[in-house]
């Protein structure tokens, strides 16, 4: 079909659909073409839907932060601005201790689960061995097991082996940390594994060819390539550990209370702005960790890009 005959067919079609079609055509700025899937972002109802999603996601969080500055004990009606509850939270020794516990557990668990997860991913990627599919399945099992079951199992396990409950700080956090490592390292393994899929094996062979030993290849070629995956995995592990409630609840003792558990126990005596303040701080730390993680993977410096 020639160009002119195409034009001739198109013209009456446009005449039949005035109004809306013309508006869309004008919005797209390029005549009578069918809209592609991404063009739908320009329609009003999709924008409205997106706005609704954002509202549902962020309005509660915004409310939480706003009401942390509410000058009211009951914290139901806005009474006026104050930062008193931040000061109060800061002076709440138990809250601060819970906070320190949470950060200690999260830091340790992140470090260990990143190393373990990376090792698991490397083993599963690099080697063929009997029972490998089984091993792979078992590695990711903690991701699919309901958290409540995992919590109960952890509690039973530590009881069974007679984990001492009278340890001093920070050893008293040991069982929680072990439980956190157990459920976060599979996430690291999955993220690192996904990154390894795109790895060009010739890079490894080239390094070997140039005289590098297997360990030098791992240090100089594979790990730098994995860096974005390692950071992403570590961030996931950190956030998972920091806000875990269920599993921690079953493994925590009276001397190893974490921030989520402390907040939960405070809520039983009424929702005060102090809780909002503590939650706000938790959100800030999480956001800050994410920003740092994203900044460390600056675009344009992807070590995987050839």
Partner 1 sequence: MSEADVIISLRDVTKRFGAFRAVDTVNLAIARNEFFALLGPSGCGKTTLLRMIGGFEGPSEGVIAVDGADMHAVPPNRRPVNMVFQSYAVFPHMTVGENVAYGLKVAGVSKREIPGRVADALRMVKLDGYAGRRSGQLSGGQRQRVALARALVKRPKVLLLDEPLSALDAKLREAMQLELVRLQHETGITFIIVTHDQHEALSMADRIAVMNAGRVQQVASPAELYEHPANRFVAGFIGQINVFEGELAEAGGDSCVVDVGELGRVGVAARGLNGRGGGRVTVAVRPEKIRLDTAPPVDGRIGCAGEVAEIAYYGGASHIFLTTERGTRINANVVNAGRDTQGAVRVGHRFWCTWDAADTFVLPDDPRAGADALSG
Binding site for partner 1 (CB under 8 A): 200, 202-203, 205-213, 216, 220-221, 224-225, 227, 302-306
Q: How far is the CB of 44 from partner 1 (least distance, A)?
A: 40
Closer of 59 and 206 to partner 1 (Cβ) = 206
Close Cβ partners of 69 (under 8 Å, ≥ 6 residues apart): 81, 82, 83, 85, 273
Do residues 207 and 138 lie in contact, with contact meaning Cβ atoms separated by under 8 Å?
no
Q: How far is the CB of 125 from partner 1 (least distance, A)?
A: 18
Q: How far is the CB of 201 from partner 1 (least distance, A)?
A: 9
Closer of 229 and 273 to partner 1 (Cβ) = 229
Q: How far is the CB of 209 from partner 1 (least distance, A)?
A: 5
Closer of 33 and 205 to partner 1 (Cβ) = 205
Q: How far is the CB of 200 from partner 1 (least distance, A)?
A: 6
Closer of 46 and 206 to partner 1 (Cβ) = 206
Closer of 141 and 194 to partner 1 (Cβ) = 194
Q: How far is the CB of 233 from partner 1 (least distance, A)?
A: 18
Residue matched to tokens 């459920």: 183
Closer of 30 and 305 to partner 1 (Cβ) = 305
Q: How far is the CB of 211 from partner 1 (least distance, A)?
A: 5
Closer of 138 and 206 to partner 1 (Cβ) = 206
């Amino acid at each position: 079909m020639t160009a002119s005959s195409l034009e001739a067919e198109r013209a009456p079609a446009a005449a039949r659909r005035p109004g809306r079609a013309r508006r869309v055509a004008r919005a797209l700025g390029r005549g009578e073409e069918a809209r592609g899937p991404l063009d739908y972002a320009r329609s009003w109802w999709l924008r409205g839907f997106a706005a609704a999603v954002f509202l549902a996601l962020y309005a509660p969080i915004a409310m939480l932060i706003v009401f942390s500055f509410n000058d009211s004990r009951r914290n139901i009606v806005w009474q006026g601005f104050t930062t008193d509850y931040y000061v109060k939270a800061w002076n709440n020794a138990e809250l601060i201790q819970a906070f320190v516990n949470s950060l200690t557990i999260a830091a340790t668990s992140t470090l260990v689960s990143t190393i373990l997860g990376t090792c698991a991913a490397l083993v599963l990627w690099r080697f063929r061995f009997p029972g490998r599919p089984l091993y792979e399945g078992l590695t990711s099992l903690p991701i699919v097991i309901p958290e409540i079951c995992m919590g109960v199992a952890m509690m039973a396990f530590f009881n069974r082996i007679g984990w001492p409950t009278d340890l001093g700080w920070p050893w008293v956090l040991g069982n929680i940390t072990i439980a956190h490592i157990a459920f976060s390292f599979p996430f690291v393994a999955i993220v690192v594994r996904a990154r390894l899929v795109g790895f060009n094996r010739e890079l490894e062979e080239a390094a070997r060819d140039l005289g590098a030993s297997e360990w030098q290849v791992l240090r100089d070629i594979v790990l730098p390539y994995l860096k974005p995956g390692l950071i992403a995995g570590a961030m996931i592990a950190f956030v998972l550990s920091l806000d875990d409630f269920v599993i921690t609840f079953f493994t925590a003792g009276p001397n190893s209370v974490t921030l989520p558990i402390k907040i939960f126990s405070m809520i039983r005596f009424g929702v005060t702005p102090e809780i909002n303040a503590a939650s706000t701080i938790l959100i800030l730390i999480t956001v800050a960790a994410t920003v740092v993680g994203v900044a460390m993977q600056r675009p344009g410096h992807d070590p995987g890009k050839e």
